[in-house]
Amino acid sequence: MSTGGPRVRAAHWLLDAPRSLRSQSHRMRHGAGLGWFSLGGEPVRDRAPLAAFENADFDLHARNVPSHTFVSHVRDASVGGLTVHNCHPFVMGDRLFAHNGVVKGLDTLRAWLTDVERAQVSGETDSELVFAYVTAEIRRRGDTTAGIVEAVRRIAAELPVFSLNLLMAEAGRIWALRYPESNELWVLSPEKGGVSGPEREAGAEGPVPAVVIASEPMDDRPGWRLLQPGELLTVDGLAEASDLPFAPLSHPLRRSDLSIREAASQASLPGAPSPPIMRTITGTTT
């Protein structure tokens, strides 16, 4: 979620919405984390290998931490043990990152990193290795969007991929990618009903316009839009812009190519409304 500047709390979407992350964690029980940005613009996160509904710290931070940008994640593990190092969101430099999908060829991906870059990886997941490689390309190119595009293009060309849905945030900016069509990713824009919380919150600041991005619509508002396969959505403050910069995967994985554990983690989400058919992209980036 991004508000474009005002610091708010994210309790509505994390805890109270009909399909909040706490509610989703009954299906995705292997870890939960919340990331935000300090007053100085530094990324902060708290994560644990516990389901969000069992985690008192997740509830505490959701109700009390103010920020203009949040990244939160509930984990259904496909790779790596149930440890804190494998829980999202990940932090490298001044960025937060979360991923939903399966990427294989991890030894090859690891070989693309320098020793210094490999040293930043503390867990076992494909997600953290993808983040390390994206971070490396951002550093090489000096631009976040260009680094994401270059990294994803190389992964898509050279590695087996089932899904590479990702969210990355800097202070005040979010990038969201749905790629390919295997998993869904949705956006609720301010003009379509996106706000920080309900219309009235006792003792709180009231609703603030916000861009909300999620793997499934978190309530029944009609304004949720399904990102197109291959769509990279960038949110700068509240300004949204979309692009389709990626070719089809060179080595696409089918669900039958996945292990039982991997396939279970990528199961279709129940209860999501049927998406409208999207033929074009209007300028807009959970």
Domains of the chain (ranges plus CATH)?
82-265 (3.60.20.10)
Pairing of strands 71-74, 32-37: antiparallel
Residue 96, H or E segment: strand 95-103
- Segment 16-41 shows an average pLDDT of 94
Q: Which is higher by pLDDT, 277 or 175?
A: 175
**Calpha distance 71→159 (Å, rounded):** 26
**Calpha distance 92→98 (Å, rounded):** 12
- Segment 67-93 shows an average pLDDT of 91
Q: What's the pLDDT at 264? A: 83
Q: What's the pLDDT at 205? A: 58
Is the separation of the CB atoms in 150 and 141 below 8 Å?
yes
Contacts 24+ apart (CB under 8 A), 79-84: 79/106, 79/124, 79/125, 79/126, 79/127, 79/262, 80/123, 80/124, 80/125, 81/124, 82/30, 82/31, 82/49, 83/49, 83/123, 84/31, 84/47, 84/48, 84/49
- Segment 137-162 shows an average pLDDT of 98
**Calpha distance 50→260 (Å, rounded):** 22
H-state helical runs in 113-175: 115-118, 126-141, 144-158
| H helix count then E strand count, the chain | 8, 12
Q: What's the pLDDT at 62? A: 95
Q: What's the pLDDT at 273? A: 41
What are phi and psi for residue 100, nearest 5 degrees? -130, 115
Is the separation of the CB atoms in 165 and 177 below 8 Å?
yes
- Segment 77-87 shows an average pLDDT of 87
Structure tokens at 185: 């990713």
Q: Is pLDDT above 70 for 74?
A: yes
Structure tokens at 247: 């070719």
- Segment 13-33 shows an average pLDDT of 94
CA angle 94, 95, 101 (to 5 degrees): 160
Q: What's the pLDDT at 281? A: 32
**Residue 121: which residues within 8 A CB-CB, separation 6 or more?**
110, 113, 128, 129, 132
**Calpha distance 9→29 (Å, rounded):** 23
pLDDT digits (tens, 9 = 90+) for 235-262: 999 999 999 999 999 999 998 888 888 8
Binning pLDDT at 50, 70 and 90, where does residue 276 land?
A: very low
Structure tokens at 183: 């998993």
**Calpha distance 250→51 (Å, rounded):** 35
**Calpha distance 65→60 (Å, rounded):** 8
Q: What's the pLDDT at 258? A: 86
Binning pLDDT at 50, 70 and 90, where does residue 267 land?
A: low
Binning pLDDT at 50, 70 and 90, where does residue 71 land?
A: very high
Query: Please, what sign has the CA dihedral across residues 20, 16, 201, 47?
Result: negative
88, 109, 147, 222 from 272: Cα distances, Å: 23, 33, 32, 12
- Segment 112-119 shows an average pLDDT of 95
